[in-house]
Structure 1
């Protein structure tokens, strides 16, 4: 069935049709989508109330019932980005079989996300409003890495005695690698860098445990 004019989404920058009663959540979603689009195309400086309103096809004052200001929008975008990242990590883990392969898959998914969305990823770890850190969604990322590493220990594939601490070290390593890859394009990064990198930080010691899928 074809899309009617009433069902078609508004063009970027066009006046947005008024929500029916009870559909205010749609406007919040549109605001976040507009802000995320601006961020992906530029950087955090591109996310202004005026620019977000223009891209969402609304007036700037229409934002205030949903967000008190620009910082709140950026924070919401960051939270949504972490939720998206965590979903990708879980999918990667679920698609692999052995515990060590699940851990590698999660790490590769993490690095792929950072490479695919560099500005969004930078915002996830950038300066946020005071008291508004990434503890909740960020804790989810750490939990996935720690739980998957703990499964490697249980399976005899890792010698870690503190999976959570080693998962923190692994996350810091992944973040550093993602950041350096983003800014040092000319550096001759080894094609097989991730395998020994993850194995070392995760204390993977079983023969063959470092074989990537």
Structure 2
């Protein structure tokens, strides 16, 4: 995600009109630091040092650390949306019907969290805290709400298609999509914060079944 920046690279001064590249490098550096050093390792000084600029140069693009992490979260939500769409598209080519597409989207969500735990943490109140950002006025409630809007649409579309073919029973698609997301988030989050817990091998399948109203395993 973003451009690749090594810890030892030195950045040449941007020619006039190329500030957008610096902004992308700042976000990329913050993302890399989050993966390598965790939340505490993401500081403006560390970001600046990584891409070879002075820390004050960051303020031309971001007001503070929180705004940098918001940009990381925005990128992560975009990655999640692409991930879910790819899962839906792959399942749509099979013979499992609309129910299999819905299962694939749910499983894709859990797989994204499992494979990208640092991204997932910054998305949901770890390194970047949306509630705190709203309280301080760094962002509006509407901006926070928009972060997951496209990903939620993928869930809603899969649910609507299932409902249309009577594979699932939810009547209110918007409520159902939100409920499915929140339910999946519970398992995804707990897997990250409690990796040593003996999670049952079939926990994921049973959770998806309960959240969607579909059988725990695909029909033969």
| Alpha-carbon distance in structure 2 between the residues aligned to 1:57 and 1:139 | 35
Do the aligned partners of residues 152 and 183 (structure 1) sit closer, same or farther apart at CA in structure 2, a change above 3 Å counting?
same
Corresponding residue of 1:162: 172
Deviation, 1:169, is 1.2
Structure 2 residue matching 1:176: 3-state secondary structure:
helix
Structure 1 residues 47-62: aligned runs within 5 Å: 47-62=42-57
User: What's the TM-score once normalised by structure 2's chain length?
Assistant: 0.84
Structure 1 residue ranges, 4+ long, deviating more than 3 angstroms after superposition: none
Give the aligned CA root-mean-square deviation in angstroms.
2.1
Corresponding residue of 1:210: 217
| Alpha-carbon distance in structure 2 between the residues aligned to 1:147 and 1:77 | 26
Where in structure 1 are there 5+ consecutive unaligned residues? 1-8
| Alpha-carbon distance in structure 2 between the residues aligned to 1:122 and 1:15 | 29
Structure 1 residues 94-105: aligned runs within 5 Å: 94-97=89-92, 98-105=97-104
Where in structure 2 are there 5+ consecutive unaligned residues? none
Do the aligned partners of residues 88 and 99 (structure 1) sit closer, same or farther apart at CA in structure 2, a change above 3 Å counting?
same
Corresponding residue of 2:86: 91
Match of 1:82 among 74, 77, 102: 77
Q: Provide the aligned length of Structure 1 versus Structure 2.
A: 202
| Alpha-carbon distance in structure 2 between the residues aligned to 1:52 and 1:171 | 32
Q: Kindly indicate which of the two structures has a greater share of residues assigned to helix.
A: 2
Q: Is the 8 A contact 2:73 2:119 kept in 1?
A: yes
Does 1:42 pair with 2:41?
no
Report which stretch shifted further, 44-53 or 126-135.
126-135
Do the aligned partners of residues 10 and 89 (structure 1) sit closer, same or farther apart at CA in structure 2, a change above 3 Å counting?
closer
Does 1:177 pair with 2:211?
no
Q: Is the 8 A contact 1:146 1:163 kept in 2?
A: yes
Deviation, 1:192, is 2.2
Corresponding residue of 1:188: 198
| Alpha-carbon distance in structure 2 between the residues aligned to 1:68 and 1:144 | 32
Report which stretch shifted further, 146-155 or 190-199.
190-199
Deviation, 1:60, is 0.8
Corresponding residue of 1:123: 122
Structure 2 residue matching 1:96: 3-state secondary structure:
helix
Deviation, 1:138, is 1.1
